[in-house]
Chain A
Amino acid sequence: MFSAQEIAIIKRLQEDLPLVPQPYAVLATQLGISEADLLKCIEQLQAQGVIRRLGAILRHRQAGMQGNVMVVWRVPPAEINRVGEILARSPAVTHCYERPTAPDWPYNLYSMVHARDEIECRSIVQDLALQVGLEDYQLLFTVKEFKKTSMHYFA
């Protein structure tokens, strides 16, 4: 599916780009290809959606976004689309997924809300709940972060 060269490029882009004027030239040398070929390949991987983003990946807590809550919603199955789309439109919601339920777990829609602090998070969620017209939801705040890394594909 992917060529050896593509895999090598993907693996390298999962690491840090050097903070020098010509970072792609440095990578190309490391990979033993030309800078032009590297840029062409990255462009293709972006167009195919394999590379979702290329840029600075932040630690949002350190950047002043200290409020972070996972909101789980119990949504009647027929309304999942409507509710999911409303939640997705909110700029404070970064991720929104439908997930299965379990006997002791009735929640089927998940949204991650990021804001400056816990108070702002709560007020955003209250507002979202009114918009979607649902009362059965829970706020699962992060108490402790044990791990947060990027996946190493083709490791």
Chain B
Amino acid sequence: MLNERDRQLLNRLQSHLPLKSNPFQAVGEELGMTETEVLERLSRLKQKGIIRRIGASMNSQSLGYVSTLVALKVPEGRLMEVAGLINQFPGVTHNYQRNHTYNLWFTLISPSQQELEGTLKELQKRVGNLPLLNLPARRLFKIRAEFVF
């Protein structure tokens, strides 16, 4: 589990890694840790799988990409097979089983609207025309995938 200093570090490091030659030293100074302590804690948190990656999250829209949320109604016995088919599409970033008759929910990102629609058609064909909801965002009220520990 996380201890207090891990928590402080994770709360600090979910955004705005300093744009300085020694960013981890700068973070350490803010938190009262040495650069070595910061690097060792981060490497341990990565090994434990708590940190997935240290890098950038991009705003897909400002890169000219379009995205949508899709729900599929999959017969219980086909769930693993269909989830596997969906996972193969590189634009699918999240794919979850959820507790509803629309039981498979995934996000799809494409370089253009045309390509997105093409991918959805192809995907429909491959899974055998299951009932599908295409739910692109109309309006964004909040996006903040940061967590306070």
Contacts and interface: CB of A to CB of B under 8 A. Distances in A.
Interface of A: 1-2, 10, 13-17, 19-25, 35, 39, 42-43, 48-60, 62-65, 70, 80, 84-85, 87-88, 91, 93-100, 102, 104-105, 110, 114, 138, 140-155
B78 interface: no
**Taking chain A's interface residues, is the majority helix, strand, or loop, or is none over half, making it mixed?**
mixed
B56 A144 contact: no
Per DSSP, chain B at the interface is mixed
Enumerate the 9 nearest inter-chain pairs by beta-carbon distance, A residue then B residue, closest first.
A13-B56, A88-B142, A84-B141, A96-B141, A147-B95, A53-B15, A144-B97, A140-B98, A98-B139
Contacts of A104: 131
Interface residues of B, number: 78
Interface in B54-105: 54-60, 62-65, 69, 71, 83-84, 86-87, 90-100, 102-105
Given A84-B139, A94-B145, A151 B91 contact: yes
A33 B56 CA distance: 19
A98 B137 contact: yes
Nearest to A140: B98
B149 to A, nearest CB: 7
A143 B16 CA distance: 32
B55 A24 contact: no
Nearest to B94: A148
Given A16-B55, A105-B102, A94 B148 contact: no
B98 to A, nearest CB: 4
A35 B65 CA distance: 28
